[in-house]
Every structure is written in structure tokens, then in C-alpha cells.
Amino acid sequence: MINSLIISRFNENLNWLEAHQNFNIVIYNKGDQLTSNTFKNIIKIDNVGRESHTWLYHIVENYNNLDDVSIFLQGRIDDLDCMAYKDPKEYLKKISKTGFSVSRLGLLGPSHWEDNVGIENKPKYADQWYKNEISRSEYGFREFAKKIFPEIPIFVATSYGGCFAVKKELILSHNLSFYKKLLKSVSNHKNPIEGHYLERLWCYMFTKNSLLIDSLKDVIITKLERSKLIKKNTKLN
């Protein structure tokens, strides 16, 4: 079995990858020139579409030559909290159940389908939104999702951070034109709102909600962890 690490890099330091050379490593570089004696497969592409563009570009360009398992990771994963394993091999431990693996699932419900995924109210992105550094779409999140998946329910297992592993056969369950259409939707702006939409839809795209019960469990775990962290910070202050 051949397993690959597909990396979306801007200007992150990739020294952490040196410990994982047992994988087939493909680095898509969207930032400054990257030279390396260690990594040979470095591909320069335009800095558009966030990591969603990178994943779709890889799938489209390699649709008939995908490795058995593709692990899609951002250039830096140590700042993603519970949204990415620090060791990529951890993804392989969970992938046999459904062919899809993430470090922590989330859950989309009635309050999560706001037109812009509520990004204008998130501290991390609000400033970018109001400065028009995130593009607008003619479609809200729910409408965008239903155009791709007309049957998509209100409650959907999701994942955040754009980091996940998926088996080749699940990728191939959608035809090439499906991915080309999605790639086009995130190819015209550095930070398109559609990239934020897709971040929340990878899990459904490849599992059709078979991880819904697991997502409920993970949501409870995440809430407990955050509660403990808040209490800890309160005591420190």
C-alpha cells in the first residue's frame, strides 16, 4: 500500500516533514521559492483558493494515478489544536472504518448553515471579511452545498482545518468532472468564501454522513476539553 502526504504550503517551515519520509510526499508551494535536498516533489502553483484549491488541484491532476491513501495536510499543523494530528501516521489507524480519517469531527446543524458560515463574526476572519479580503459568493453555504449534494441533510458530520486522510476508492467515487467543477469555484481568489464552504464539506463528500454518530461523540469531547481549558485559564488569571 502506498500512502502519500499532500502538503499545501505558503511560507511555513517544513522541517517537521523530514521525520515522515516513509510517505510519498508531494508539496504544493504557494509562497516563496522552496528549495530542498530532502524533498524532490515540490510543485509551484498559484496562491489561490486556500487549501481546498490545493486538494482539488492534486485530485484533478492525479485522478488516474492516486496513491492508496492520500493524507492532505497544511504546511503547519502544530497550531491547529485538535484539528490535525501532529503525527500523520495517526490518520492511518482510523481509516479502515470508513476510508476517511480526521483527528476530530465536528457537527453541522441548523445554526451552522449561515450564508457565509458566520465568518464575519469569527475573530480570526472578521477583519479580513470587512476589508473584502475574503471574496463573496452568489450562493450561501446551504445553497452551495445543495448544488453539489442535493440530498444533504441539515445535520452533517464535518471537520475543520482542511486536514484529513482518504482512500483512493472514495475519491474515485466522484467523477473527474465533479472535481474540476469544484476546482473552478475556488480558482479566482486568494481567499474565496467557497474555500471555507468546502472545508466543512470534505467529510460529507467522502462519507455521506456515515460518521454522524462519531461526530456527536467528538463534539462532546471537544466541549469538555474547552470547558477544562477555560477553567484552567480562569484560575491562572
pLDDT digits 0-9 by tens, 69-113: 999 999 998 876 778 999 999 999 999 989 999 999 999 999 999
Residue 30's contacts (CB-CB under 8 Å, 6 or more residues apart) are: 8, 9, 10, 45, 46, 47, 48, 54
Measured CA distances, 94 to 19, 102, 158, 213 (Å): 21, 8, 16, 15
Is the pLDDT confidence value at 68 over 80?
A: yes
Q: Which domain holds residue 159?
A: 3-236
Cell reading at 170: 472514495
Single-letter code of the amino acid located at 164:
F
Count of domains forming the chain: 1
How do residues 203-234 score in pLDDT, each as one tens digit?
A: 999 999 999 999 999 999 988 987 776 666 66
pLDDT of residue 66: 98
Report residue 186 CA to chain centroid gap: 14
CATH number at residue 126: 3.90.550
pLDDT at 77: 85
Question: Tens of pLDDT along 122-133?
Answer: 888 999 999 999
Q: Where are the alpha helices (DSSP H) in the chain?
A: 50-61, 89-94, 126-130, 141-148, 168-171, 176-185, 193-199, 202-207, 212-236
pLDDT in tens, 3-61: 999 999 999 999 999 999 999 999 999 999 998 888 989 999 999 999 999 999 999 99
Pairing between β-strand 156-158 and β-strand 106-108 as defined by DSSP bridges: antiparallel
Residue 227 has a pLDDT of 78
